């Protein structure tokens, strides 16, 4: 296995671990952290897709923007992924930093469900 393939594999495993954590948090009623872990599961999965083409960024905005531009708009992933990525990012910010408007149960459930879809799609995209 090449160094690049090992890196991609590690990123996808991290995405899987974050998603599993989100699912556990969802079941214990920790809506905010479930949303946050959902976002990070997706972040690591799309980072693996970018890494495959030699792309890596220091900011989340650059990572999300490049994935949307180079993969979603190009048709490699469904158009709805842009909406999902934006919502997950917003919910992660809300869950981690907003004290007045917490993440509600349905928001967390939607985040985990959609994160599962994105992580699976990224894994399938990267399979040889």
Contacts by residues 80-85 (CB-CB < 8 Å, ≥ 24 positions apart): 81/118, 81/121, 84/42, 84/114, 84/117, 84/118, 85/42, 85/46, 85/118
In this predicted model, what pLDDT tens digit does every residue of 35-50 receive, in sequence order? 999 999 999 999 999 9
Mean pLDDT throughout 63-92? 97
Check residue 114 and give its pLDDT: 98
Calpha distance 54→50 (Å, rounded):
7
Tell me which residue of 45, 39, 47 sits closest to 94, measured CA to CA: 39
**Structural domains in the chain?**
3-126 (1.20.120.330)
What percentage of the chain has pLDDT greater than the value 70? Answer: 99
Mean pLDDT throughout 114-120? 98
Calpha distance 57→33 (Å, rounded):
24
Check residue 100 and give its pLDDT: 87
**Placement of tokens 């997950």 in the chain:** 88
Task: Read off the pTM.
Answer: 0.95
Mean pLDDT throughout 87-114? 95
């Amino acid at each position: 296995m090449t160094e690049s393939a090992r890196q991609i594999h590690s990123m996808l495993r991290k995405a899987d671990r974050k998603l599993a954590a989100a699912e556990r948090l969802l079941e214990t009623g920790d809506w905010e952290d479930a949303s946050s872990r959902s976002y990070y599961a997706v972040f690591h999965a799309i980072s693996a897709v970018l890494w495959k083409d030699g792309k890596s960024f220091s900011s989340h905005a650059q990572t999300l923007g490049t994935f949307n531009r180079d993969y979603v708009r190009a048709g490699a992933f469904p158009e709805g992924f842009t909406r999902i990525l934006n919502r997950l990012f917003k919910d992660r910010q809300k869950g981690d930093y907003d004290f007045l408007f917490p993440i509600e149960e349905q928001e967390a459930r939607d985040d985990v469900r959609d994160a599962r879809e994105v992580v699976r799609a990224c894994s399938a995209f990267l399979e040889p």
